[in-house]
């Protein structure tokens, strides 16, 4: 397997162009950086003989690269961890709709795939509210809207508003409640912050555990990773927090996804489709989802037992592309309302 960082691509691009005439390979532009995924690609190669070349970079860099390379791009499959980025790539015309009997047979839920097949979800994560077990009563907070209520002043923790996870949540609020209500919500949330946004989701969970704030926004997999961590201190953090799947009595909890789309100019579109089919197969889904403690999109594969223990929940039914379309407006609202 060939792995390259985006920074060193002058050499990598030449190498890939030179080998792309060979049929038995597939080039993946990948912004999902989880080591466990590599085993899946190796297994795919063993069973098909198709070599997987991984080109890593952050999603914006990879989308930019796809655009600037145009028809000469070596990219076959684009994998990323935010529906907004997949929808943006599809909107730019970078992805080719793909389907097959094998892909349809998986029965990926409608909210986790592009209606035209421009991208397919591979695993999902819910954006939940984590709370301090010793300071917050169960049931005291049940919705994202609650985070903006005055009783949570100086108690709310979140990562930066410029991060795709925050943007996607705000975009989903726009989809559900419109611009004005969303701007009021963001203002209320910002007014309730226990500290200026800093760090990632795990840092927010740890801050709840040590009492810097009482409630935090986080993706489910960060909680799952703390629960299953080999480190005692991580498991102690997990023992101090409870989780809420927000908005269960109305629109459901906001979910985002890891997903993939076949690149329109793919030199090996058949191999890209085969890899996509493999990634959605029960065997790969088990590893792909568990490797990052995400929910498999293949309904035939059960979530990791520790995720199941967090509780079942109603996910928002809205298609990821629908809320992703509001991302630019979410950015403007969050900027105005001061979610830095
Ligand atoms: Fe993450």
Same domain, 16 and 163: no
Same domain, 111 and 147: no
Q: Given a cut of 70, is residue 20 above it in pLDDT?
A: no
Same domain, 239 and 156: yes
Same domain, 270 and 231: no
Ligand 1 center to 72 CA (angstroms): 31
Q: Given a cut of 70, is residue 3 above it in pLDDT?
A: no
In a domain, 130, yes or no: yes
- pLDDT score for 59: 87
Ligand 1 center to 201 CA (angstroms): 7
Residues of the chain with pLDDT > 70, as a percent, come to 93
Ligand 1 center to 151 CA (angstroms): 29
Ligand 1 center to 128 CA (angstroms): 13
Same domain, 133 and 245: yes
Q: Given a cut of 70, is residue 276 above it in pLDDT?
A: yes
Tell me the mean pLDDT in the region 265-288: 97
Q: Given a cut of 70, is residue 11 above it in pLDDT?
A: no
Ligand 1 center to 79 CA (angstroms): 14
Tell me the mean pLDDT in the region 277-291: 96
Ligand 1 center to 206 CA (angstroms): 15
Ligand 1 center to 125 CA (angstroms): 9
Domain with 328, as residue range(s), is 125-254+315-337
At residue 84 the predicted structure's pLDDT band, cuts being 50, 70 and 90, is confident
Residues of the chain with pLDDT > 90, as a percent, come to 84
Ligand 1 center to 20 CA (angstroms): 32
Q: Given a cut of 60, is residue 291 above it in pLDDT?
A: yes
- pLDDT score for 319: 84
Q: Given a cut of 90, is residue 324 above it in pLDDT?
A: no
Tell me the mean pLDDT in the region 184-209: 98
Ligand 1 center to 189 CA (angstroms): 21
Ligand 1 center to 256 CA (angstroms): 11
Ligand 1 center to 305 CA (angstroms): 20
At residue 83 the predicted structure's pLDDT band, cuts being 50, 70 and 90, is confident
Distance of CA 178 to the CA centre of its chain: 23
Ligand 1 center to 22 CA (angstroms): 35
Same domain, 83 and 140: no
Same domain, 6 and 67: yes
- pLDDT score for 82: 86
- pLDDT score for 36: 81
More confident residue, 322 or 53: 53
In a domain, 307, yes or no: no
- pLDDT score for 23: 66
Count of domains for the chain: 2
Ligand 1 center to 30 CA (angstroms): 14
Residue 262 contacts residue 98 (beta carbons within 8 Å)? yes
Spatial CB neighbours of 141, under 8 Å, sequence gap ≥ 6: 129, 131, 147, 152, 215, 244
Whether the full predicted model's pTM is greater than 0.85, yes or no, is yes
Give 100-126 pLDDT, tens digit per residue: 999 999 999 999 999 999 999 999 999
Ligand 1 center to 196 CA (angstroms): 19
Same domain, 85 and 229: no
Ligand 1 center to 58 CA (angstroms): 12
In a domain, 291, yes or no: yes
Ligand 1 center to 106 CA (angstroms): 25
Ligand 1 center to 137 CA (angstroms): 27
Tell me the mean pLDDT in the region 44-66: 95
In a domain, 181, yes or no: yes
Ligand 1 center to 55 CA (angstroms): 19
In a domain, 78, yes or no: yes
- pLDDT score for 8: 40
Ligand 1 center to 220 CA (angstroms): 10
Mean pLDDT of the chain: 92
Same domain, 119 and 177: no
Ligand 1 center to 322 CA (angstroms): 21
Ligand 1 center to 15 CA (angstroms): 30
Same domain, 240 and 331: yes
In a domain, 41, yes or no: yes
Ligand 1 center to 26 CA (angstroms): 25
Q: Given a cut of 90, is residue 308 above it in pLDDT?
A: yes
Same domain, 169 and 91: no
CA atoms within 13 A on the CB side of 266: 25
Q: How far apart are the first and last CA of the chain?
A: 39
In a domain, 309, yes or no: no
Ligand 1 center to 175 CA (angstroms): 23
**CATH at 210:** 3.40.190.10
Ligand 1 center to 37 CA (angstroms): 15
Same domain, 18 and 100: yes
Ligand 1 center to 292 CA (angstroms): 9
In a domain, 94, yes or no: yes
């Amino acid at each position: 397997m060939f792995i390259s960082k985006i920074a060193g691509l002058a050499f990598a691009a030449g190498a890939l162009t030179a080998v792309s005439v060979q049929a038995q390979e597939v080039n993946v532009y990948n912004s999902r950086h989880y080591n466990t995924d590599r085993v899946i690609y190796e297994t795919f190669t063993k069973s098909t003989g198709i070599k997987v070349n991984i080109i890593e970079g952050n999603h914006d860099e990879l989308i930019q690269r796809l655009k600037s390379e145009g028809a000469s791009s070596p990219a076959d499959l684009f994998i990323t961890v935010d529906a907004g980025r997949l929808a943006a790539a599809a909107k730019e015309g970078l992805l080719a709709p793909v389907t097959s009997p094998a892909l349809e047979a998986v029965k990926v839920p409608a909210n986790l795939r592009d209606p035209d097949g421009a991208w397919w979800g591979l695993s999902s994560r819910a954006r939940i509210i984590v709370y301090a077990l010793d300071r917050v009563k169960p049931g005291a907070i049940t919705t994202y809207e609650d985070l903006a209520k005055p009783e949570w002043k100086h108690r709310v923790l979140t990562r930066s508003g410029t991060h795709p996870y925050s943007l996607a949540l705000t975009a989903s609020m726009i989809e559900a409640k419109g611009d004005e209500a969303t701007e009021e919500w963001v203002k209320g949330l910002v007014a309730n912050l226990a500290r200026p946004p800093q760090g990632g989701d795990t840092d927010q969970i740890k801050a709840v555990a040590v009492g810097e704030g009482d409630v935090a926004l986080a993706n489910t997999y960060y909680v799952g990773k703390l629960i299953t961590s080999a480190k005692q201190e991580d498991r102690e953090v997990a023992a101090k927090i409870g989780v809420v799947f927000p908005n269960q009595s109305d629109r459901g909890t906001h979910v985002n996804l890891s997903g993939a789309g076949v690149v329109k100019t793919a030199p090996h579109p058949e191999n890209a489709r085969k890899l996509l089919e493999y990634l959605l197969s029960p065997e790969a889904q088990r590893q792909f989802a568990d490797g990052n403690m995400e929910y498999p999109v293949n309904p035939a594969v059960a979530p990791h037992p520790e995720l199941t223990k967090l509780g079942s929940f109603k996910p928002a039914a809205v298609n990821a592309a629908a809320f992703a379309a509001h991302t630019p407006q979410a950015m403007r609202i969050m900027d105005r309302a001061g979610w830095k």
